[in-house]
Amino acid sequence: MDFQWYPGHMTKAKRAMQEDIRLVDLVIELLDARAPGSSRNPDIDTLAKGKARLVVLNKADLADESANRAWSDYLSGSGASVLCMDARLGNGKKKVQEGILKACEKKIERDRRRGILNRPVRAMVAGIPNVGKSTFINTLAGRASAKTGNKPGVTRGNQWIRLNKQVELLDTPGILWPKFEDPEAGLKLAWLGSIKEEILNTTGLATELIDFLQRSKPDCLAEHYGILPEAGAERILEQIAEARNCRMKGNEPDTERAAFLLLNDFRSNRLGRITLELPEGGKD
Ligand code: G4P
């Protein structure tokens, strides 16, 4: 399957990130806990060079718990400060504020030695579309301060949200572009709903997902749809259509409707908490 993201958007997003990043001490990099490798933009290391970094494995509530631990250990092992979160819940606020200060320890200490006291750490949130950036900012700020969704063309002035005496957060998140060079990564992001559906072939996406699930979670389709999966993803999609009474005129199984249904069930965790990839050396 071929995935595209308009190069014009990419250039604009990159320029905006480069401008904003100059203003901050810390970049809070949001990854989707269900596919941290695929939702990570490799250019972030260059873009955020010299800045402190806090990695948030967001949507951890949707991902497999042991995989969350494996990713936390792996990313911490490469030197990053890492947190697992459900950005919709306010109870992670304290954890984030502590994470920010820990990630900026060296800078705070440097300031202190230079006699600079009480200068708040300035942070920005960055991540690919739909990873939960606006939700994260809203939760942290405690009010509707960031617009949910990425709205191109909205004029942006830099506004700072004071989280407490020690931390200020830029109210506009940095939008990173998805990683499309690797077709596997594009596929996973499409399953997660991070790529606009209109540009995708839903049935193709669903059959690829069925193949993946049959390999990595062999019982989940049988359990959820009450089917005995037969050979071939196309046939299984028909079985799902039959089980859920998705039919076209003439009583044929409506596989396109079944494909939407399957993707929705997957995205809303009705098939269980599923992580699509493990750190290098792990099995997915
Ligand atoms: P973005 O700014 O990075 O583009 O993402 P945004 O905050 O708009 O979040 C995208 C979707 O992900 C939203 O759902 C949001 O509620 C959901 N979300 C964000 N963080 C988490 C999380 O940690 N766990 C779970 N389960 N969901 C999360 P939506 O259905 O698109 O919108 P809404 O109807 O919830 O507003």
Q: Which of 82, 37, 88 is nearest to 59 (CA)?
A: 88
Confidence tier at 198 by pLDDT (50, 70, 90): low
Which two tokens mark 195? 């790529």
**What pLDDT is stored for residue 201 in this prediction?**
87
Given the structure tokens 């540009």, which residue do they identify?
199
Q: Which atom of ligand 1 is nearest to the CA of 131?
A: 3
What's the pLDDT band for 208 if we cut at 50, 70, 90?
very high
Q: Is 237's pLDDT higher than 90?
A: yes
pLDDT of 282: 55
pLDDT at 273: 96
272-to-101, 196, 213, 226 alpha-carbon distances in Å = 34, 23, 11, 15
Question: What CA–CA distance (Å, rounded) separates 198 from 5?
Answer: 13
- Which ligand 1 atom sits closest to the C-alpha of 137? 7
Region label for 195, one of left (φ > 0), alpha (ψ between -120 and 50) or beta (otherwise): beta
Rounded Cα distance, 24 and 161, in Å: 13
Q: Is 147 in the pocket of ligand 1 (CB under 6 A)?
A: no
- Ligand 1 pocket, 150 CB below 6 A? yes
Does ligand 1 have an atom closer than 6 angstroms to the CB of 130? Answer: yes
122: phi then psi, degrees, rounded to nearest 5: -105, 130
pTM: 0.90
Percent share of the chain, pLDDT over 70 = 89
End-to-end CA separation in angstroms for the chain: 20
